[in-house]
Structure 1
Amino acid sequence: MRSFNESHEIMNKPICILTPTCTLGYGFDPEALARGMSLRPDVIAVDAGSTDPGPHYLGSGEPLVSRFGIKRELTQLIKAACAAKIPLIVGSTGGAGTRRHVDDVAEIAREVGRENGLTFKLAKIYSDIPSEVVAAAVRKGEVADFEAGVALSEEVALASETIVAQMGHEPIVEALEQGAQVIIAGRACDDSVIAAFPIWKGADPGLAIHMGKILECGAFSAEPHGTDVMMAFVDDHGFTLEPGSVNRRASLTSVAAHTLYERENPFLQAGPGHQLDLSECAFEQINERQVRVTGSRFSATPDYWVKLEGARCVGYRSISIAGVRCPTMISRIDQLLEDAKRNALAYFARPSLKIHFHLYGCNGVMGALEPVKGNVPHELGLIIDVVDSEQQDAHAAAHFISGSLLHVSWNGQFNTAGNLAFPYSPSELDAGPVYEFSAYHLMKVASATAHFPVQIEVVA
């Protein structure tokens, strides 16, 4: 692998990056933003998505956060960026970075421009990959497993509602080269969103991408952590981190810990077309609120691979939420739930029917992995979780199960008036379509920008 560190150009001055929050729409302190802007950043860059909330937003195209929240924060950030004459970059727009997400948030950006009398170049970068393209890559042996645990088949690829790929910094750099001032990007590797501008300006990508990895969650790399402003200053030899709020500080522990966040290997970090070597990183507390990081090294991989994220619909969900307070019911709850499930499966006799129970107060979080066993709770929170091929069928089964448990009898029962306490009427709630990740793989691509088209327009 070739190393960038030996050949990059010397920067004229440190590059200052402001990241306002961990996810656009999750909030930040306006005073922290004002203070951060007083430090004269060269760019505002923020991540807006994740697979952490599951595949729903990828499959449905619905936004992760409200339109109100996106517009409220985008208004503040676009106004700040335009006033300072610096770019604003948003990555993984809308939560999953689909075409619909990019188009919806781009329209919000246009509204902000019109309503505030602002003029700027707007870039949209799409990250959707046609399922036929992915299927063809599968046939050519250019798709590898990432964390799915199974090989991706052509059939599954073609059955996916949506497939996106995580772009690296290169498509964002292309938009910057075209003069974009507000960039609304589709699915992107989190650190690439933050690293793109400094790399464009000549920063060592090893330092820039490591900086992006820490900064992408905003002030979660600070003490106390939170959804707030975080700053970075990148120079030729390292980078320095500082929270926007004077009520937070960067510490050795908070910064080093976030370097390890979501990491399997503490020394090597793979990304689109590259690998970072962090084995020689050093962290230095240079004052009460700032930490300096050095030693991150970048190597380009021989082939360029991007991560695919695909989703497909597997049915419709209905749930019922209830409380259980009867001690004799609690003492035999496992058997009662098993019986209720067996009876429902026999009653409806549909292979598509899937039934799960979540018992909060017992093992609702960890399930079979729960290490605390033998404790007898005084009450339980029960979620009846039903998935079927049609919404009305899921609803019918959920109601059948809740009604069965409401009136079931057992030896030693004292109460015959009803076994469950329902907080809501109706007791069954339809949750809509259910998606699963159909692709969580790597795909080999011809170039870093081939699948990520950039569209430029002027907002006035």
Structure 2
Amino acid sequence: MKPAFKILSPTAILGYGFPEESFRRAIAEKPDLIAVDGGSSDPGPYYLGAGKAFTDRTGVKRDLRFMITEGVKHGIPVVIGTAGGSGAAPHLEWCRQIVLEIAAEANLSFKMAVIPTDVSKDVVHAALDAGKIEALEFVPPLTHEAIDATTNLVAQMGVEPFIAALKAGAQVVLGGRAYDPSCFAALPIMLGYDEGLALHCGKILECAAIAATPGSGSDCAMGILDETGFVLKTFSDERKFTPESAAAHTLYEKSDPYMLPGPGGVLNLRECKFEDIGNGQVRVTGSRHEHTPYKVKLEGSRPVGFRTVAIAGVRDPIMIKSIEEILQAVRQRVENNLGANADAKVFFHIYGKNGVMGDLEPVKQTQTHELGIVIEVVAPTQEAADTVCSLTRSTLLHYGYPGRVATAGNLALPFSPSDIRAGVVFEFSVYHLMDLPQEDLFPFHMQQVTPQGVTA
């Protein structure tokens, strides 16, 4: 009979934070693993393309200081997936430097494995030519032009690279882009625990206490694995797990409630059960992992222009009633005046009407007394975006629509200056599945970390 294996997930994403009291309570239960999902593609393509983190460095360092200090002190492995937010080389190095700072300040020494997940464009070009790349649903087929235009290109690794690093004796594992459950599931799978249970447990723990009720991405959760299931628990008196909260999070971001695909397999949840065992804890059983041909998800983004935005409010009921017609007329007038800036694209986001869902919004007639309008312009240069945004904002501000009474201006502008440069715009250029071209696609580099730095 295997002993219970305790996995501590301190926070939903590295840098989101957690109460120190919750963390101390969790450490008192002597976890066998501290793991955290360092990022996601959810914040969009900019962070991957620009090589920047979407969480604050101070917050990330604070979270890592607790995790690494306690992990090294108690001999608990610390495993981080999708470091730096997007997991490409600049994100991984950004996070590695934070770890080195912590080691120096806390006088720590440990072995750290760093696992890059960047994929060579040559590898992807060859896979495309060989017919070994497929588009995900609603994604256009991949082209060589899209590959060449991509700035950072990564692949989601599964548990295998983490296992290799842990077997080699790593105390801290810093991974690039990873399938979210991998950093949680790798060590228990290495130790012989059931793959399906470990991956399902990791799937829930990836967002820590978001899967509890009331949910929070800034609080700790623990999964306790055994041979037939796992138990979920929190460490804050404010939260508890329920069968509904655990099951709901299992469905999070998934189009199929029963079959959850990942690198090299599918998590089959058709026989899964969620049981309330009291004290705010839930026991989960019946999860199975079924192996499939090994594919990895590729992610890459490319620059497509520059953005400028302006934010405004509207409260005139006459204008609100005809807002769609007014915006269309403004758009037409702006297009007639663009001249050399004809390549610019103008978007209106109408909050209070359909700003969240756009054309998919089922409620067609708004009853609101005010609207928020975000004017967005994307153009080939920042200067062109600035010019067109200024023209659009001023045209809408003074547009004379039918029934208009006031002449001072149609918009309430909360900021001065009213137009905000948002910089380079990226779009996902690669979001496809690729057959694993080689078993060692994600080799790790072992480093001996000391307070003085890194030694070979």
What TM-score results when the alignment is normalised by the length of structure 1? Answer: 0.94
**Judging changes above 3 Å, is the alpha-carbon distance between structure 1 residues 281 and 410 closer, same or farther for their aligned structure 2 residues?**
closer
Q: Of 415, 424, 429, which aligns to 2:406? A: 415
Q: Is the 8 A contact 1:71 1:108 kept in 2?
A: yes
**Structure 2 match to 1:67:** 57
Computed over aligned residues only, the root mean square deviation of the Cα atoms, in angstroms, reads 1.4
**Structure 2 match to 1:152:** 142
Give distance in 2, aligned partners of 1:96 and 1:68: 18
**Structure 2 match to 1:36:** 26
The one-letter code matched in structure 1 to 2:338 is F
Task: Verify: 1:391 aligned to 2:402, yes or no.
Answer: no
Q: Is the 8 A contact 1:323 1:421 kept in 2?
A: yes
Of stretches 367-376 and 189-198 in structure 1, the one that deviates more from structure 2 is 367-376
CA shift for structure 1 position 66? 0.7
Q: Of 323, 334, 339, which aligns to 1:333? A: 323
Q: Of 199, 204, 209, which aligns to 2:194? A: 204
Q: Of 90, 109, 121, which aligns to 2:99? A: 109
CA shift for structure 1 position 217? 0.8
SS in 2 for 1:33: helix
SS in 2 for 1:254: helix
Identity within the alignment, %: 45
Q: Is the 8 A contact 1:147 1:441 kept in 2?
A: no
Give distance in 1, aligned partners of 2:437 and 2:354: 47
Q: Of 59, 84, 95, which aligns to 2:74? A: 84
The one-letter code matched in structure 1 to 2:252 is Y
**Structure 1 match to 2:348:** 357
Deviations 1:372-403 (A, max 9, x none): 23334322111110000000100100001111
Task: Verify: 1:250 aligned to 2:241, yes or no.
Answer: yes
Gaps of 5+ in 2: 451-456
**Judging changes above 3 Å, is the alpha-carbon distance between structure 1 residues 211 and 356 closer, same or farther for their aligned structure 2 residues?**
same
Give distance in 2, aligned partners of 1:262 and 1:370: 20
Q: Is the 8 A contact 1:55 1:436 kept in 2?
A: yes
Q: Is the 8 A contact 1:139 1:154 kept in 2?
A: no
Q: Of 228, 239, 254, which aligns to 1:263? A: 254
**Structure 2 match to 1:218:** 208
The ranges of structure 1 where at least 4 consecutive aligned residues each deviate by more than 4 angstroms after the TM superposition are none
**Judging changes above 3 Å, is the alpha-carbon distance between structure 1 residues 324 and 180 closer, same or farther for their aligned structure 2 residues?**
same
Q: Is the 8 A contact 2:136 2:432 kept in 1?
A: yes
CA shift for structure 1 position 148? 4.2
Give distance in 2, aligned partners of 1:133 and 1:331: 54
**Judging changes above 3 Å, is the alpha-carbon distance between structure 1 residues 336 and 45 closer, same or farther for their aligned structure 2 residues?**
same
Deviations 1:257-307 (A, max 9, x none): 222222222221111011222111222222222211121112221x21000
**Structure 2 match to 1:275:** 266
Gaps of 5+ in 1: 1-9
What TM-score results when the alignment is normalised by the length of structure 2? Answer: 0.95
SS in 2 for 1:190: coil
Task: Verify: 1:161 aligned to 2:151, yes or no.
Answer: yes
Task: Verify: 1:186 aligned to 2:173, yes or no.
Answer: no
CA shift for structure 1 position 351? 4.8
**Structure 1 match to 2:454:** none
**Structure 2 match to 1:346:** 336
Q: Is the 8 A contact 1:132 1:158 kept in 2?
A: no
Q: Is the 8 A contact 2:352 2:366 kept in 1?
A: no
Deviations 1:100-138 (A, max 9, x none): 000010000000000011111122111111222211110
The one-letter code matched in structure 2 to 1:191 is P
CA shift for structure 1 position 225? 1.2
**Structure 2 match to 1:140:** 130
Say how many residue pairs are matched.
Answer: 448
Give distance in 1, aligned partners of 2:78 and 2:107: 17
Give distance in 1, aligned partners of 2:281 and 2:354: 42
